[in-house]
Amino acid sequence: MRNNRLTRLLNILDNTEKRKLRQTLEISTKEQEMLVLYDYLIKYSAKPKRLDKERVFEEVYPKDTVFNGRKLSDLNTQLYHLAEDFIIVRLLKRKERMAQRQLLMLEYLREKTVLNNKYSDDLNSLNHKIVKDLEHSLSRTDHCNLSHYFNLYQLNIQRYYLNTDKWQEGRLHIEALMENLDIFYCLTKLRYAGEILMRERILNENLPVLLLDELRQYSEVLSKKGIAQASTYRLHLDLLQEFDEVKFHQLVEHIFEYEHTLERVELSNILIFLANHAAKATREGDANLVVANYEIYKLGLENEVFIENGFVPSLLLVNYALLCSTVGKTENLEEILVRYQDRIKVSEKENTTLLCRAYQHFADHEFYAAYRLVSKHSKKRLSFALHQKPLELKCLYELENTTDHIDTSRTLYDACMVYRRYLQRKSDVLNNSTYTANLNFVNTLLKLGEPDTDTDELMKTLKGVSVIHRNWLMEKIKAKK
């Protein structure tokens, strides 16, 4: 019984769910063996050595002298289905699942009426009452996501068939169900067209999206009707095909206003897409997107949409700390770090925390404190080193230009040369844009350190190349004029 679907299910239940499932089993089953099996698996489901079938059988059926695998398997299956039913019922009891419950009831009543050829005043009265309740549930929701429009479509199916004379009275309902089906189809197709274009960009796949032009046109109609997702998906598609700063800001503003209309996975995908675009555009010369990128990360972290398999990507937190430092808004960085402490992989926690706090110190002009932290940082992982080394150089530059001399055991020039050699050694594993942006940062910093540098020429050069920490470099060049 090691790692079967029942033990895996029990492993993911929290303590409240385990306790309530036990109470449900006490009511729903008269088999004492079922409760014994449940208690044993709850106690040992995470200990495979205790889950040999023979050992479990002896615990559940102590009076049986001969092992009966079929008997234990049947009991195991029954318990799994009872646990499954318990979870489904708990889900349907949630307030946000009310529409699904009502639709299931309407389906049951329709089966009674149509499939079993039964009709009565009781059925008619119940149908009308539940339809009214469903109308009320759907009219009160603030989350007009894809499921909402599909539920409206199903509601109007019920309205249509509830008419005593559908040929005379059903026109409004069949028009409504067709409209909501069109909305659901259009939004769903636009959403997954975005997924296809994302895969095309990342994996070079070539999947055709039929009727895309027609969907774009209809999405404009839906946008004018106030359906937020239509604008969200269309803007996302446009940006996937060609970057446009105006549309970028439109989509960012739209996401901030209507993020509640998107599922968590959608919001996460779009925010990451926007963040990557903003970072790339910033490296290539657009300094105006840094604040927008900070707001994008902040929204995603506050809504906890970046969690993957129980963990938040460490570099995502470090990138957020960099953005906080760049825009000078580190006030909620500590709160975010505390919130996500248990969501960082143990092997990455120390380096992640050190880099985030170093960025915080740097933003507060505590350059030596930041330098001391990054100098402790492990340089084994390339993605972390690409944060640590440039931050170390920035600290050294600030320290060498401070009125208080602090001995850092190495000069800015030496550190720049070390980092340049490091980039050259890693050039075969770095993508070209990352390599170029980092190398241009080092070269600009070296030029900046020369006493007779032509700052006007340096600023002109900087504006024409891809470079990391662009805003900081521009600030330092201006200060040297």
**How many structural domains does the chain have?**
1
**Given this model, what pLDDT does residue 173 score?**
85
Residue 141 in this model has a pLDDT that exceeds 90: no
- Domain housing 67: 5-93
Label residue 163 by pLDDT band (50, 70, 90). Answer: low
**Secondary structure of residue 144 in the 3-state scheme:** coil
Contact partners, residue 371, CB within 8 Å, separation at least 6: 392, 395, 396, 399, 408
272 in a structural domain: no
Average pLDDT over every residue of 79-97: 92
Residues across the chain: 481
Find the distance separating the first CA and the last CA of the chain, reported in whole Å.
74
Q: Answer yes or no: is 33 within a domain.
A: yes
- Note whether residue 247 is domain-resident: no
Q: Determine what percent of the chain is predicted with pLDDT higher than 70.
A: 93
- CA 279 – CA 287 distance, rounded (Å): 10
What pLDDT, on a 0 to 100 scale, did the predictor assign at position 230? Answer: 92
Average pLDDT over residues 145-166: 80
Q: What is the mean pLDDT of residues 129-140?
A: 87
User: Backbone phi, then psi, for 401, in 5-degree steps?
Assistant: -105, 15
Q: Are 381 and 373 in contact (CB under 8 A)?
A: no
CA 411 to CA 390: how far, in whole Å?
14
Higher-confidence residue: 377 or 155? 155
Report pLDDT for 406.
64
Is 341 within 8 Å of 357 (Cβ atoms)? no
Residue 62 lies in a domain: yes
Helix (H, G, I), strand (E, B) or coil at 311: strand
Q: CA-CA-CA-CA torsion for 221, 224, 226, 227, nearest 10 degrees?
A: 20
pLDDT of res. 237: 92
Domain-embedded: residue 283: no
Q: By the 8 A CB rule, do 188 and 171 touch?
A: no
Q: What predicted TM-score, i.e. pTM, was given to this entire model? A: 0.77
pLDDT at 122 over 60: yes
Q: What is the mean pLDDT of the chain?
A: 88
Rg of the Cα trace of the chain?
A: 30
Distance CA 429, CA 386 (A): 13
Question: What digits encode the pLDDT tens for the residues 329-347?
Answer: 998 899 999 999 999 999 9
Partner residues linked to 352 by β-bridges: none
pLDDT at 166 over 60: no
Mean pLDDT, rounded, for 246-269:
90
User: ∠ at Cα 292 (287, 296), nearest 5°?
Assistant: 140
The answer to whether position 23 is within a domain reads yes
Confirm whether 425 is domain-assigned: no
Q: Does 75 reside within a domain?
A: yes
Q: Of all helices (H) and strands (E), which one includes residue 238? A: helix 228-241
Asked if 349 and 338 count as a contact pair (C-beta separation under 8 A), the reply is no
Question: Contact at 8 Å (CB) between 394 and 415?
Answer: no
Q: Are 298 and 363 in contact (CB under 8 A)?
A: no
The residue-averaged pLDDT of 236-256 equals: 90
The pLDDT of residue 189 is 93
What token pair was written down for 167?
Answer: 């040929």
Q: Is the pLDDT of residue 128 over 90?
A: no
Helix and strand counts by DSSP (H, E) for the chain: 24, 0
Q: Residue range 29-52: average pLDDT?
A: 89
Per-residue pLDDT at 367: 93
pLDDT in tens, 200-236: 888 888 888 888 889 889 999 999 988 999 999 999 9
**Which tens digit of pLDDT belongs to each residue from 411-457?**
899 999 999 999 999 999 999 999 999 999 999 999 998 888 899 99
Q: For the segment 294-338, what is each residue's pLDDT rounded down to a tens digit?
A: 999 999 999 999 998 889 999 999 999 999 999 999 988 999 999
Name the band, by pLDDT with cuts 50, 70 and 90, for residue 402.
confident
Q: Determine the residue type at 365.
A: H
CB contact set of 318 (below 8 Å; sequence gap of 6+): 352, 355, 356, 359, 384, 387
Mean pLDDT of 89-111: 88
